[in-house]
A and B are shown apart, each in its own frame.
Chain A
């Protein structure tokens, strides 16, 4: 496990934010860490929806259970966090 900073570009928010996560975190856990800094602060919660993670500009989301350390995401890469149907 290792501390791993990523950049959160959270859907409907206005700013990129620094989010410290861990290489052992799953994509759902990474999404939750990013949501902590946006949802309920400047972005309205969307009950019933989940937040998925993809590269900036990417078409595909990372699998929800995939661990950060298993991906080729680089430290301080900008990730998009998008509300999706559960």
Chain B
């Protein structure tokens, strides 16, 4: 029997809207869950998903993808790639898995909300596949690192991180909760799929797969490529939703959602991808700096997408681009200095050769961030590693939950951006973070940063050691310098002194 072409039956098959008889439309699709912002359901009929697929097609393709990824993993199981890779690469893997694997489950919930409460049949259909995608991503990214736990127990944090009060895990959770765990279907479409995925992760996964291949980690390269192809499909859910909102007079509301989501996503990118690209990746494998990557792939792509949809660039666009010069360097310094609070081992990557690379890519680095690293290096050379550890907590931004930091040394521009709200003073890293809070203070006001909890007596004993215990880090899991400080040897004036260190 001849089969119809998909295009001949797709629209009818996926158009599952109906007129409810037993409950009201409002009860079936409450605005708080749909986020339709008053745009009637009939208007959402114009939603046209750019990527169309059927369930049998989806299953066939996904099966092939899974088979590909798992077969590469099996084929390379006995290879020496993991053992021979630079410790900086291991840190990239640990940071990646811990910060994202369980987050994929969160994304699955977000997709499920669009499946149930999406106003457009096309959105519900695409989100069904998106939900299955995210489940696959979570399973893959929990399974792969699980094999590595026997080699290095920090990989256990792929499973563990989200279930702890470790500060970076709180920062990721706070962001993802805001972008898609506690949002309506329409908001999730815009904030998760358009801003977070189209804007950032889709591009980042492409870059990460290329880096993995360059490093020789073909297992991770195939894993990330496999995930990226899903992302590039379901990330297209948000665009048509934005078109519907804009066409129905809701541009300002849509713009705000985009602006909040980009602001929040940028922070996570700066702290995870920034140090990975400019520090953890061994210098011989770096193809472009984080700043170059952001300018070429994120800014270039995103600007086009925003303008094509009829949106404006976020009001803070120039401020964000200015941060490409310094914010991730500050985050890297903080990650390294408070390394015992991490589930990975940050690679300092400040040898003379690395510093020359940083100075070339970021003119002025030696006169700013380099000044702090000078002191750290001198302490290591003098046998005073104790002075390269903190004795107090950094102050965390009440939006990003990441330490408030900026340029040190001769470009010193560190500043608190405080806000008094209902008798409490909140502290922010920038005008952008404070602006996000001001858009919906009731949403954010009750969250306690790790420092707030410390001051409220929730962390006992109230010491740095107490804070480490609160974060769930056992001594064997706490981060340390990825290369055991071997990089500092390059600064010793007498080569013979290396062996005595």
> Which residues of A line the B interface, CB within 8 A?
5, 7, 9, 11-20, 36-37, 40-44, 56, 74, 76-78
Contacts and interface: CB of A to CB of B under 8 A. Distances in A.
A18 B414 contact: no
B416 A42 contact: no
Contacts of B418: 78
Nearest to A34: B392
Nearest to A13: B408
B427 A15 contact: no
Nearest first, the 7 A-B pairs at minimum CB distance are A14-B408, A78-B416, A16-B395, A42-B372, A15-B405, A16-B404, A18-B393
B89 interface: no
B388 A78 contact: no
Given A7-B416, A12-B371, A43-B372, A76 B455 contact: yes
A9 B409 CA distance: 13
B392 A16 contact: no
Contacts of B372: 13-14, 42-43
Contacts of A56: 415-416
B391 A36 contact: yes
A15 B375 contact: no
Interface string B319-333: 000000000001001
Contacts of B395: 7, 15-18
Given A16-B414, A18-B395, A5 B407 contact: no
A16 B405 contact: yes
Nearest to B372: A42
Interface string B381-398: 000000110111111000
Nearest to B337: A42
Given A13-B372, A13-B408, A15-B404, 19 more contacts: A7-B395, A11-B412, A14-B330, A14-B369, A14-B407, A15-B394, A15-B405, A16-B404, A16-B414, A16-B416, A17-B394, A17-B395, A18-B393, A18-B394, A18-B454, A40-B379, A42-B375, A42-B376, A56-B416
Interface residues of B, number: 37
Nearest to A11: B412
A77 to B, nearest CB: 8
A60 to B, nearest CB: 18
Contact of A12 (B403, B408, B425): B408
A56 B405 CA distance: 14
Interface in B404-443: 404-410, 412, 414-416, 418, 425, 427
B390 A37 contact: yes
B374 interface: yes
B451 interface: yes
Interface of B: 330, 333-334, 337, 369, 371-372, 374-376, 379, 387-388, 390-395, 403-410, 412, 414-416, 418, 425, 427, 451, 454-455
A76 B425 contact: yes
Main secondary structure of the interface of A (DSSP, over half): loop
B370 to A, nearest CB: 11
B284 to A, nearest CB: 28
B393 A17 contact: yes
Residue picked from A20, A37, A43, A76, most chain B C-beta under 10 Å: A76
Contacts of A18: 392-395, 451, 454-455
Nearest to B406: A14
Given A9-B414, A13-B408, A16-B403, A41 B451 contact: no
B392 A9 contact: no
5 contacts: A14-B330, A15-B405, A17-B393, A41-B379, A56-B416
B403 A40 contact: no
A36 to B, nearest CB: 7
A26 to B, nearest CB: 20
Nearest to A39: B375
Contacts of B412: 11-13
A76 B427 CA distance: 9
Nearest to A5: B455
A76 B395 CA distance: 10
